[in-house]
Amino acid sequence: MSTFSQIRSISLREEVVEQIRTAIIEGRLKPNDHIVEQVFTQHLGVSRTPVREALILLEREGLVVASRNRGCFVRAFTEEDVDSIFSMRTALENFAGELIIDKLDENDYQYLENNIEKQRQFIEAEDFKNVRSTDMALHKFLISRSEHPLLKRNWDEIVAQIAALLYVRAEAIPNYDEYLAIRDHQAIVDAYRQRDLNRLRAENKRINERVAGECRLGVRAVIESK
């Protein structure tokens, strides 16, 4: 718990959400961990109200599970959850592709190429926290370029779950080849540059099916460790 920092007085609920969300995504709070409100009020320096409100929001994001008699726990994903999340991700990314494949310009491609290079540098530096955030930033950028409110809202609802599953994957596959993501991202950008929607759909399907399979390994490891 010493890794948490004191909360500033502004936007308490949002800051509590961010700290607990980050702790889950980074694996400092693990699947099935009990989230005790009193402990968090002490370590974050806030009252119980913003902690309770934050847990409600995190439950909506799919990171926390609440039980009336037992309290709140970090969500432990099932293999079925993995399949649902990544099939939805594929659908959302394909829809974004349909909306933006003909309107991306050179500035957009420059951002995407720079993002890939930054991720490569973070991998070489073994800065895996920034590897993850840079990875998700590329996908978030493509979703945001759609300027489609419901698409962005649905993406936001699953992105934290994806990030948490990627940590579970990392725990199960300690020598994971991070450069796979570099190759995946370059394939996506190349499909956009060629304005080849069929190729983009194929790449999205291939990538998400592979990552889902890797995350299922992580989920199985969590279940078997009980």
DSSP code string of 65-129? EEETTTEEEE----HHHHHHHHHHHHHHHHHHHHHHTTT--HHHHHHHHHHHHHHHHHHHTT-HH
Residue 180 clears pLDDT 60, i.e. is over it: yes
Give the pLDDT score at 3: 66
pLDDT band at 69 (very low <50, low <70, confident <90, very high): confident
- Output the pTM of the full model: 0.88
Give the pLDDT score at 44: 86
**pLDDT, mean of residues 34-41:** 89
Q: Where are the domains of the chain?
A: 12-74, 79-224
Q: With CA atoms as reference, report the closest residue to 122 among 182, 169, 208.
A: 182
Percent of all residues in the chain with a pLDDT value above 90, rounded to a whole number? 73
Average model confidence (pLDDT) across the chain: 92
- pLDDT, tens digit, 9 for 90 and up, residues 148-174: 999 999 999 899 999 999 989 988 888
Within 13 Å of residue 122, how many CA atoms lie on the same side as its CB? 18
Percent of all residues in the chain with a pLDDT value above 70, rounded to a whole number? 95
**In contact, 216 and 82? CB cutoff 8 Å:** yes
pLDDT band at 8 (very low <50, low <70, confident <90, very high): low
Residue 4 clears pLDDT 90, i.e. is over it: no
Residue 127 clears pLDDT 60, i.e. is over it: yes
Give the pLDDT score at 70: 87
**In contact, 122 and 148? CB cutoff 8 Å:** no
- Say yes or no: do domains 12-74 and 79-224 share a fold: no
Q: Is the dihedral of CA 60, 64, 70, 71 positive or negative?
A: negative
Give the pLDDT score at 195: 98
pLDDT band at 40 (very low <50, low <70, confident <90, very high): confident
CA dihedral angle for residue 37, residue 222, residue 63, residue 99, rounded to 10 degrees: 170
**pLDDT, mean of residues 68-97:** 95
pLDDT band at 104 (very low <50, low <70, confident <90, very high): very high
Superfamily of domain 79-224: GntR ligand-binding domain-like (1.20.120.530)
Domain 12-74, CATH number (from 2.40.110.10, 1.10.10.10, 1.10.3720.10, 3.40.50.970): 1.10.10.10
Give the pLDDT score at 14: 87
